Structure 1
Amino acid sequence: MEEKSTIFTASHGVMTTEVGVISGELELRTTCDDEGTLKLAITYVGAVDWYTLPGEDYRLHNLRDHEVVHRMLATVLKRP
């Protein structure tokens, strides 16, 4: 399983499944297993609890796309 992580500041907030919108200094984590299943999680920097982003059943057809998808998500989530 491959994991990628990016820290960014979200001034506008990011919607989570569990607690609604969170904002501030956040960490995005994406994990991709050998079958292409992609999991998306987010937390406040330094916090213990992780939250999921809305949606389900994310799958990559090519495992090499994990890096690109992670970077795109981080960029979209941090834009004002």
Structure 2
Amino acid sequence: MQKKSSIFTATHGVMTTEVGVISGELELRTTCNDAGILTLAITYVGAEEWYTLPGEDYRLHDPRDHEVVHRMLTNVLERT
């Protein structure tokens, strides 16, 4: 299982399933298993509680694409 993590600033906020929109300095964590199942989690930098991004059943055709998808998600969530 691979885990990727990136810190970014979300000026306009990111929607979460549990608490709605969060913004500021955030950390995105993506996890991908050997079958390509992708999980997405986000938190405030330094916080202990992680939130999920809306949606479910994320699956990559090829788990080797995890790095590219993680970078793409970080860039999209950070855009202003």
Q: TM-score range by the shorter chain?
A: over 0.9
Measure the CA separation in 2 of the matches of 1:72 and 1:20: 22
For residue 18 of structure 2, what is the amino acid of its counterpart?
E
Structure 1 moving runs of 4+ over 4 Å: none
Q: CA deviation at 1:10?
A: 0.4
Measure the CA separation in 1 of the matches of 2:25 and 2:47: 11
Give matches, 1:29-68, under 5 Å.
29-68=29-68
Q: Structure 2: which 5+ runs fail to align?
A: none
3-state SS, counterpart of residue 12 of structure 1: strand
For residue 71 of structure 1, what is the amino acid of its counterpart?
R
Q: Structure 1: which 5+ runs fail to align?
A: none
Instruction: Count residues with an aligned counterpart.
Output: 80
Measure the CA separation in 2 of the matches of 1:59 and 1:9: 26
